[in-house]
């Protein structure tokens, strides 16, 4: 037996197979849902996980508007955005965001759990969030995942 047989597999771009999975956010706690989704997007559930490559699956999150938060987070948590202009800082509560764009809550939570670099930006494109139960990715034949 040579020493090469013990090496950890490092996948190349050609070896990576990205699947599609669908997650129902109905009555799920936001942070717990987001951490599981971020892990799937990174590909940590796969045996050939390579930290410096985008080897995870595309994740479709449906029913994002029905996500749960514990305690008084709906009204007491504050989420900051900045337009980039002077004085462009805005604060929103999750309740305000849910009333306008409920998908943003899940997107914000998952994005915060991805790496803060170019790879993280690339991984973020694998997230597809929809407020209701409908999604346009039927052609990809996504597999349902129970979290």
Instruction: Name all domains of the chain by residue range, CATH numbers in brackets.
Output: 18-69+101-147 (3.90.1180.10)
The per-residue pLDDT string of the chain (147 residues; one tens digit each, 9 = 90 and over) reads 556 677 877 888 898 999 999 999 999 999 999 999 999 999 999 988 999 999 999 999 999 999 999 999 999 999 999 999 999 999 999 999 999 999 999 999 999 999 999 999 999 999 999 999 999 999 999 999 987
CB 127 within 8 A of CB 54: no
Reduced to 3 states, what is the DSSP secondary structure of residue 43?
Answer: coil
Q: How many residues does the chain have?
A: 147
Any idea which residue has 């993280």 for tokens?
A: 120
pTM reported for the whole predicted model? 0.89
Residue partners of 8: CB distance under 8 A and separation at least 6: none
Distances (CA, A) of 42 to 3, 63, 73, 112: 29, 22, 27, 13
């Amino acid at each position: 037996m040579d020493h090469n047989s013990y090496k950890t597999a490092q996948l190349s771009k050609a070896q990576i197979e990205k699947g599609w999975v669908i997650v129902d956010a109905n009555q799920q706690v936001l942070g717990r849902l987001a951490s599981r989704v971020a892990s799937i997007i990174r590909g940590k559930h796969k045996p050939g996980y390579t930290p410096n490559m985008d080897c995870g699956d595309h994740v479709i999150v449906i029913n994002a508007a029905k996500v749960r938060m514990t305690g008084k987070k709906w009204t007491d948590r504050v989420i900051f955005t900045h337009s980039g202009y002077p004085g462009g800082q805005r604060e929103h509560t999750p309740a305000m965001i849910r009333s306008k764009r409920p998908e943003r809550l899940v997107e914000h939570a998952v994005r915060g759990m991805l790496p803060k670099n170019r790879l993280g930006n690339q991984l973020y494109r694998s997230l597809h969030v929809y407020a209701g139960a409908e999604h346009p990715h039927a052609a990809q034949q996504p597999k349902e995942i129970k979290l």
